[in-house]
A and B are shown apart, each in its own frame.
Chain A
Amino acid sequence: MAQFEKFRAFELDVLKEVGNIGAGNAATALSKLLDKPVDMAVPKVSLLPFEEVAERVGGSEQIVIAAFLRVEGDAPGNMFFIIEEHSARSMLEQLLSMKLQADAPYSELELSALCEIGNILAGSYLSSLADFTRLQLQPSVPAVAMDMAGAILSYGLMQYGEMGDSALLIETKFLEDHKSLEGHFFLIPDPDSFDKIFKALGVDTE
């Protein structure tokens, strides 16, 4: 982990910009999809102990909906689009133009719509990132799950497990007006991908 602790402020700013560009495009895509303005918070780049990662979305046992995909190519990593249940419902209602039953489990159609939203957002995040860095980055087909945040996010931390007890993640929060929708984007590059991202952007890491 030592290699991440010594990241300079400048390098962290570069990673923030990576989040800014990727999530900015994803927010635009989401806004088009819902036909509503979507705001985005300034990205956070942090080296977080595993234990604290789930705290970012309400704690280890918080029930969330997540689209997960693996980024393959020059700078592999894991990507999550995470929303709380009520956000997922209001997003589906807007998208499918129908009222959902409050307590009913998600139907096949609804889950597949959520998966497709994840696909579109992650695709726009990655393609803008690929343009910006000129790296080859391909998303895998996303998988969607509704479960405890701790169980879901720990899945994206395995690549860090063999090196230490914390992970470096680039987090961006989305907000639709009046907080009817709130979502989080997490890009967790594999530990070895940072050098490639920095190199691609002309940052001297020596």
Chain B
Amino acid sequence: MMEQQLVVKVGMADLNVAAGGLLKTTGLGSCVGLTLFDPVRGIGGMAHVMLPSSDIAREAQINVAKYADTAIPELLARMSDAGARLERLVAKMAGGAQMFALTGGSDSLRIGPRNVESCTAVLERYRIPILARDTGGNYGRTIELNCLSGSLLIRSVQLGVKEI
């Protein structure tokens, strides 16, 4: 019998929580795919973070999933609602690439590394250990979090598939 695995898609500047099954987000460039996992309950969470800080937001109604500093607290709240215990959570992250190396680039072109720095700082504030990361470089990534095992599958065009 074919095993059907439920795949929950996380869009750009979006987040989601799943119990069992897979969480997936595609085409991460300078964005960071941040995942949280409760190994005891088998509950996973994923955010596709686009920008490091909501301080620069000019939108009337903030999309909390878009910024590192607002996405992580929201993800924690949603996971807690789903039954995860916050003190058990572990994090993994991927992405934060610098897709193009332009000469004399302004700071906005360093957005990938800044996203990674900001996610790391927010996780430290909540004392959530980062078990593994695959960040930086100059290539795009698609990631899948297995919400039973907590393993994170990373696909890229040049390097194929790897698991962290």
Verify B157–A146 contact, CB threshold 8 A: yes
Verify A154–B12 contact, CB threshold 8 A: yes
Say whether A141 faces chain B, with CB atoms less than 8 Å apart: yes
Q: Which of B15-23, B80-88, B97-105, B124-132 contacts A (4 or more CB under 8 A)?
A: B97-105
Say whether A165 faces chain B, with CB atoms less than 8 Å apart: yes
Chain B residues lying within 8 Å of A161, measured Cβ to Cβ, are 13, 50-51, 66
Chain B residues lying within 8 Å of A163, measured Cβ to Cβ, are 58-59
Say whether B147 faces chain A, with CB atoms less than 8 Å apart: no
Report the minimum CB–CB distance from B11 to chain A (whole Å): 5
Within 8 A of A (CB), among B126-164: 138-142, 157
Say whether B31 faces chain A, with CB atoms less than 8 Å apart: yes
Say whether B35 faces chain A, with CB atoms less than 8 Å apart: no
Q: Which of A8-16, A35-43, A60-68, A128-136 contacts B (4 or more CB under 8 A)?
A: A60-68
Report the minimum CB–CB distance from B14 to chain A (whole Å): 8
Say whether A150 faces chain B, with CB atoms less than 8 Å apart: yes
Say whether B120 faces chain A, with CB atoms less than 8 Å apart: no
Say whether B28 faces chain A, with CB atoms less than 8 Å apart: yes
Secondary structure of the B contact surface, majority rule: loop
Chain B 23-40: CB-based contact to A (< 8 A → 1; otherwise 0): 000111111000000000
Verify B27–A141 contact, CB threshold 8 A: no
Considering the complex, give the chain A residue whose CB is closest to the CB of B29: A151
Say whether A147 faces chain B, with CB atoms less than 8 Å apart: yes
Verify B140–A147 contact, CB threshold 8 A: yes
Report the minimum CB–CB distance from A83 to chain B (whole Å): 15
Report the minimum CB–CB distance from A79 to chain B (whole Å): 12
**Cβ-neighbour of A155 out of B99, B103, B142 (below 8 A):** B99
Report the minimum CB–CB distance from A148 to chain B (whole Å): 4
Chain A residues lying within 8 Å of B139, measured Cβ to Cβ, are 147, 151
Verify B140–A152 contact, CB threshold 8 A: yes
**Cβ-neighbour of B99 out of A1, A147, A164 (below 8 A):** A147
Chain B residues lying within 8 Å of A165, measured Cβ to Cβ, are 13, 63, 66
Considering the complex, give the chain A residue whose CB is closest to the CB of B140: A151
**Known contacts A141-B103, A155-B29; A51 and B157 CB within 8 A of each other:** no
Report the minimum CB–CB distance from A5 to chain B (whole Å): 12
Say whether A120 faces chain B, with CB atoms less than 8 Å apart: no
Verify A145–B26 contact, CB threshold 8 A: no
Chain B residues lying within 8 Å of A158, measured Cβ to Cβ, are 30, 50-51, 108, 111
Verify B56–A148 contact, CB threshold 8 A: no
Show 20 A/B contacts (Cβ-Cβ < 8 Å), sorted by A.
Answer: A2-B60, A50-B13, A60-B26, A60-B27, A70-B105, A143-B101, A147-B29, A147-B139, A148-B27, A148-B140, A148-B157, A149-B27, A150-B12, A151-B99, A154-B27, A155-B29, A155-B99, A158-B51, A159-B108, A165-B66
Q: Which 10 A-B pairs rank lowest in CB-CB distance, beginning with the nearest?
A: A150-B27, A151-B140, A151-B29, A60-B27, A143-B100, A148-B140, A60-B26, A147-B140, A148-B27, A50-B12
Chain A residues with CB under 8 Å of chain B are 1-2, 50-51, 54, 60-61, 63, 68-70, 140-141, 143, 145-152, 154-155, 158-159, 161-165
17 new A-B contacts, CB < 8 A, other than A152-B99, A158-B50, A162-B57, are A1-B59, A50-B12, A61-B142, A69-B102, A141-B102, A143-B102, A148-B157, A149-B27, A151-B29, A151-B97, A151-B99, A154-B27, A155-B100, A162-B58, A164-B59, A165-B63, A165-B66
